[in-house]
Structure 1
Amino acid sequence: MKIYTPEEVLIKIKKITNKELDSQLSNDLEVSKQMISQYKNKKNIDLQLKIISLLIHIIENKPK
């Protein structure tokens, strides 16, 4: 299973939620655009990213 970077996670989440812009996602999450930007620039892979990557994998590979 691929472990996504924070930037890849945001891209995938925007795709799953039909959002195009970081600002739309920040509104849905009720966080600032700056917080999205800080998350996007995060460099270390932690447990949270592994969990999110697993969930994305499950969603993307779910039979239709």
Structure 2
Amino acid sequence: MQDIPDGKNVLIVSHAGTIMNFLVKELSASVLLHVKHFGNCGVLVLTYDGQKFTLKAVINPAEGLK
């Protein structure tokens, strides 16, 4: 992350378990209480201020599809 210029976006793609492990390490437990489920094609929007990550949104575009 330190090599990314300020103001640039980064796309990270991974499996839900790996993403959840990252969130457990980087975010507070109170924030994780609001992350109930990662669906297929789930998207997390995070910001990084050079020291910490902040969860801005959880988007589940496939929610409700069968």
What TM-score does the superposition give when structure 2 sets the normalisation length? Answer: 0.34
More strand by share: 2
More helix by share: 1
With a CA cutoff of 8 Å and minimum separation of 6, indicate the structure with the bigger relative contact order: 1
What TM-score does the superposition give when structure 1 sets the normalisation length? Answer: 0.35
The structure whose Rg is larger is: 2
